Amino acid sequence: MGFDYQIHRFDPTGKIHLNKRIEELAELAISKGIAKKSKSGALVVNTGKYTGRSPQDRYIVDSPKIRSKINWGKVNILLKNEKYQRLLEKITNHLNQSGDIFVYDGIAGADKKYQIHVRIISEFAHQALFANHIFREPEEGELDQHQPDLTVLVAPNCLADPKTDGTNSEVFIALNPEEKMVLIGGSHYSGEIKKSVFSYLNFILPDTGVLPMHCSANVGKDNKSALFFGLSGTGKTTLSADPERLLVGDDEHGWSENGIFNFEGGCYAKCINLNRESEPQIFDAIKDYTVVENVVLDKDNNLVFADASISENTRAAYPLSYINNAVAIGVAGHPQKIIFLTADAFGVLPAVAKLDTNAAMYHFLSGYTSKLAGAERGVVQPEATFSECFGAPFMPLKPLVYAKLLKKYLTKYKSQVYLVNTGWFGGPYGIGSRMNIKATRHIVSSILNGELDKVKYQKNPHFNLDVPNSIPELDDFELNPRASWKDKKAYDKKAKGLAKLFVDNMKKFGSIPKAIINQGPKI
């Protein structure tokens, strides 16, 4: 169908670059001074003052049709339609006046039954390149008939005025489900693009019976798949990138009666302190045309992954084809094993625990991990974060909608669920040590190969979790966090404090079945 200028009222002062090849986009990004080419061939972009998502600037446009469905609050902030229309006019005018604009047409969703066509209209070439990497490539001839189901307008240099636009800051990410539009202004961080499309899928898919999930997925040589849920920094990308298994995807998936399917066609991996020894697949994927954000270049244009002077949240976007053992079709069977990842900075959760269906529901609704000191302004010591469904910032609907779908599929396909702590032991952050990646990989392998089905379990008294007595070739102290602390009383106090936070957090959901509540901590 091509690009209809009139649909979005575009009459730019420059060119419209429609579905350009990645080589052309890279050349344009470099020639305009937005990106630099590293020695590896990757394009390096500095995103300025916003080096991560802006959760306080994410809005959903209100309408009578969707009002009762949305989980309104600090995460899903209500934006009145008249304010949205003002922002739409502002961003359209900005794109028209900013010179060249870049249009990318692609697919979100590997399962044809549930996929949507997306159109990304952006201010900069590297954002179109990012979209090329992240979303799925249309099949031959499909672009000729491309009719977008969702359109995303991206203009980092278009700033909101809180006084007149009704926003919290100069940044705005406005999802309008009814008009099938997203507006992104004020931020150069490319993660806003992918997460906005994810949020829209999370809005529409539950009505089709699909559970949208913030998780990575891989599949073994035995064709048995596994899911890895977790918030940023818990290790879902790292742990799913396993040389012994095939990667389905690193971040966003759906679970339907057909099995699991990747929403995306690429990866957006954290790369702070990246090295080939611990994360070989990700390291080797950062090559020609990979889009790298906020990584420092040395004088010879080498990427310095250990340098966090710009941000701890350094990122690399690349297509799945850059991973040697990726599942190109993006689909797999129903998961046999599901792993909930948490990075407990208090050092009190066990390294691994087995969850029955009700316990899985409890921890899915909890979505616990820790914010670290220094990660955000004002955070001076580790803080507990509860993000329902392990992805609250991207889940517009009420949490129980997603939880009920999870229970349906867990029950029907008898998937086994485990909680794995990739955080600290021997003491809290600053005193204890981070779980060794080799030990965590060993735990995950023991789950996937069935070894943890054979061992005996004991109940953790603070968190009511079933913890293995031992795992072959793994030190016992990593399974029993209390034993790793020198000061046992200090451990008990810290553990009781976190257990209470779990209990208090669960109260926000109102009436939850007793069978689920009983699987949480006892205080």
Residue 304, H or E segment: strand 303-304
Catalytic option among 151, 232, 234, 238: 232
Q: Where are the beta strands (DSSP E) in 24-97?
A: 36-37, 43-45, 58-61, 77-79
- Catalytic annotation present for 237: yes
Residue 232 a catalytic site member: yes
Which string of DSSP letters, residue by residue, matches 318-333?
A: EEGGGSTTB-TT-EE-
How would you class 12 by CB atoms within 10 Å of its CB: exposed for 0-12, middle for 13-18, buried for 19 or more?
Answer: middle
The reply to whether 415 belongs to the active site is: no
From the candidates 117, 188, 315, 363, give the one annotated as an active-site residue. Answer: 315
Q: Which of 119, 195, 245, 462 is catalytic?
A: 195
Q: Is 21 a catalytic residue?
A: no
> Catalytic residue at 408?
no
Q: Which residue has the tokens 């609704």?
A: 365
Give me the amino acid identity at 142: E
Instruction: Give the contacts of 431 (CB within 8 A, at least 6 positions apart).
Output: 347
DSSP per-residue letters across 364-375: HHH-EEEEPTTS
Please choose, from the candidates 15, 251, 314, 248, the residue with its C-alpha nearest in 3D space to the C-alpha of residue 111. 248
251 given a catalytic annotation: yes
Catalytic site includes residue 20: no
Burial of 513 by CB count in 10 Å (0-12 exposed, 13-18 middle, 19+ buried)?
Answer: exposed
CB 313 within 8 A of CB 270: yes
- Catalytic residue, candidates 8, 83, 224, 236: 236
What phi-psi label fits residue 233: left (phi over 0), alpha (psi between -120 and 50 degrees) or beta?
left
In the set 111, 242, 250, 251, the catalytic residue is 251
292/275 Cα distance (integer angstroms) = 15
CA atoms within 13 A on the CB side of 11: 2
Look up residue 153 and give its DSSP letter: E
Q: Assign residue 464 a region (left: φ > 0; alpha: ψ between -120 and 50; beta: otherwise).
A: left
Which residues touch 292 (CB under 8 Å, ≥6 apart)?
38, 42, 43, 44, 45, 271, 286, 303, 314, 315, 316, 317
Tell me phi and psi for residue 190, to 5 degrees: -70, -20
What is residue 138's DSSP assignment? P
Which of 54, 237, 357, 369 does the annotation list as catalytic?
237
Catalytic residue among 58, 90, 94, 214: 214
**Beta bridge pairs of residue 340:** 229, 419
Active site residue 466: no
3-state secondary structure of 60: strand
Among the listed residues 53, 90, 117, 253, the single catalytic one is 53
Give the pairing type, strands 291-293 and 315-319.
antiparallel
Q: Is 479 exposed, middle or buried (0-12, 13-18, 19+ CB in 10 A)?
A: buried
C-alpha 269/C-alpha 228 separation (Å) is 14
Q: Annotated active-site positions, please?
A: 53, 195, 214, 232, 236-237, 251, 315
